[in-house]
Amino acid sequence: MSYSHTITKTDNATPAVTRLLGLGRPSDMEAVGRSGVRFTQQHLRKNPSNQRGWPSTGFWGQSVRSGNFVVLPLAQPTVVITFGPVGLAQHIFGGKIRSRGKKLTIPVAAEAYGKRAREFSDLKLVVIPGKGTWLAKSNFQTLARTKRGGVSRRGRGEKIEREQLKFMYRLVDEVDQPGHRERFPKFEDIAANAAETLAARADRLFKDGGAA
């Protein structure tokens, strides 16, 4: 789900917008849109990569590049600022994600992060009583039984094979994802940026005696 902010000339949170420029011309709202996108992009660029230190999926880079705005020809001049990567709103606000028939796959290994389980052809289902259900990679290592009953990689005794599992995903019915509201600028800050943009345009308009 994408995320958007709507700013109007008479937004109650920013009465300065109304006072600064009575007309609310489309060109003024376009300036607000461009400035709002840049302001939000600067905030997004400061966000950290994933907390586990796994290879980045480029999520925040996609978020920055997706910034856009549109001016709506309504009774009150309105600009809508949008950022559209899938999952952005979920990341900001959090909340429960429930499966629709199939299990959710939660990556537990760096190799699986940012990828779907179906991208791997060698996963097997592993059910551990009391520990949950998992998808894992399986490989077998040839060992030799020692005289004392142990095993060794270099022994010359009876050859045995031991399965090794690398857990890739945990399967769950739902997950309650925490929100990270601080990773997107507050609406009040975006609106204040809009007021500053309009104030600067108003100053130029009054000084130059022409169009800003």
Secondary structure (3-state) at 119: helix
Quote the CA–CA distance of 143 and 149 in Å, as a whole number. 12
The whole domain housing 138 covers 97-175
In this prediction, residue 76 carries a pLDDT of 78
Q: Are residues 104 and 166 in the same domain?
A: yes
Question: Confidence band (pLDDT; 50, 70, 90) for 13?
Answer: very low
Task: Please answer whether residues 40 and 67 qualify as being in contact, where contact means their C-beta atoms are separated by less than 8 angstroms.
Answer: yes
Q: Are residues 8 and 68 in the same domain?
A: yes
Q: Are residues 13 and 88 in the same domain?
A: yes
Question: Confidence band (pLDDT; 50, 70, 90) for 151?
Answer: very low
Quote the CA–CA distance of 56 and 197 in Å, as a whole number. 34
Q: Total structural domains in the chain? A: 2
In this prediction, residue 144 carries a pLDDT of 56
Q: Are residues 83 and 129 in the same domain?
A: no
Question: Confidence band (pLDDT; 50, 70, 90) for 157?
Answer: low
* pLDDT, average across residues 153-171: 73
Higher local confidence (pLDDT), 126 or 7 = 126
- For residue range 64-121, what is the model confidence (pLDDT) as tens digits? 999 999 998 877 778 999 998 888 999 999 999 998 888 999 999 999 999 999 999 8
Instruction: Render 154-172 in DSSP notation, one character per residue.
Output: S--S-EEEEEEEEEEEEEE
pLDDT over 70, % of the chain: 76
Q: How far is CA 15 from CA 22, 64, 73, 108, 199, in A?
A: 11, 29, 20, 48, 12
pTM for the model stands at: 0.74
Q: Which of 187, 208, 185, 193 is nearest to 31 (CA)?
A: 193
The region of weakest confidence among 14-18, 179-183, 189-193 is: 14-18
Q: Which of 142, 130, 134, 6 is nearest to 76 (CA)?
A: 6
Q: Are residues 160 and 105 in the same domain?
A: yes
pLDDT exceeds cutoff 70 at 159: no
* pLDDT, average across residues 173-199: 91
